[in-house]
Amino acid sequence: MESRSAAGAESRFSVRRIRTLLTVIVAVAATAVLTAAPARAETGFHEVPAFGSNPGNLRMFAYVPEQAQSGAPVVVLFHGCGGSAKDLDIDTGWRKYADTYGFTLVLPEQKDENVGSGGIVPHRCFSAWNPADRTHDGEGEARSVVQMVDHMKARYSADADRVYAAGYSGGGAATNVMLAAHPEVFEAGAVFFGMAYGCADTETDYFRTGSLAPCPGRYNLVSPTEWGDRIRSAHPGYTGARPRVQIWHGGSDLLINKKSLEKQRDGWTDVFGVPQTPTSSSSPASDVTKQVYGSGQVETYLIDAMGHEAPVDPGTGIDRCGTVGRGHDSLCGPYYASRFFGLGG
């Protein structure tokens, strides 16, 4: 009888030991799952549904090359009015250089509900007229874009010292906004057939573009100092380094007059404190005039035969890019912009 009791006690002890061992195994496994390395950050073209409080109510897309390394630079690429993020980097040629030089792309996209009628052109423009959207302290679209950059820093360990902006048409105006409102974020920018910062102060004036005047808003800004003051007003009191600016325009642009290039040049050269007279002038291709101001803080490209379209040069060479029929075949804008940014050597 006593022997059977001892055997039963031993059996119950063994069951308890097995249960305890199983509990430990489950706990260890759960801890391993919780402490495992996070999933690999997404590559390729994709939408980022959550990147911050997003006060400007924009969509965020990104393109991350498979070979992109930790600490890669970031180029923020803005579509034009009526455009979208999808295929913008392919049609213009930016994806080729993201793949070749190993930088990542952030592509903000405007939402239909954020905009009004748009007048004579398709709307879905980034707001370059509303103070909340275009100033450093504003809680609008510019702040959303900065949050997108912050997301890339956190998710991909992007290099905070190598962040750039580029955009086309209304996206060019948005590029000027980011460079003026957040100079502490951006190292340089490229504006393709855009408008000067502070060019229009209402949505109605923003769409009064065309061959008569590129900036017909209620401000009659005529001097470089006045254009410079508009840029400085985006971030009052800022005394830090300013992003270098490259400006492109078509001499045959019927939507935004080529004088817009001059107004942008005047404002940025004034901000940098360099003369409006170029220090060098060259012709990198037929009907193309490149001018450099100061020690390279500002440079401009005027392409005589180009209308309101992206400068591309489809082909396989390193300095050729873009999709056939999606722009003016002349120079590959993203190649020269990437070199201006200091990407690719």
pLDDT digits (tens, 9 = 90+) for 36-54: 334 567 899 999 999 999 9
Q: List, for residues 133-184, the tens digit of each pLDDT value.
A: 999 999 999 999 999 999 999 999 999 999 999 999 999 999 999 999 999 9
Q: Tell me how far apart the alpha carbons of residues 71 and 156 are, in angstroms, rounded to a whole number.
A: 7
Cut 0.85: pTM above it: yes
Known catalytic residue at 169: yes
Assess whether pLDDT exceeds 70 at residue 204.
Answer: yes
> Which pLDDT tens digit goes with each residue over 262-280?
999 999 999 999 999 999 9
Can you tell me the distance from the alpha carbon of 308 to that of 236, in angstroms, rounded to the nearest whole number?
Answer: 33
pLDDT for residue 14 is more than 90: no
Pick the catalytic residue from 5, 53, 144, 169: 169
* % of the chain residues with pLDDT over 70: 83
pLDDT at 23: 45
DSSP result, 87-123: THHHHHSHHHHHHHH--EEEEEE--GGG----TTS--
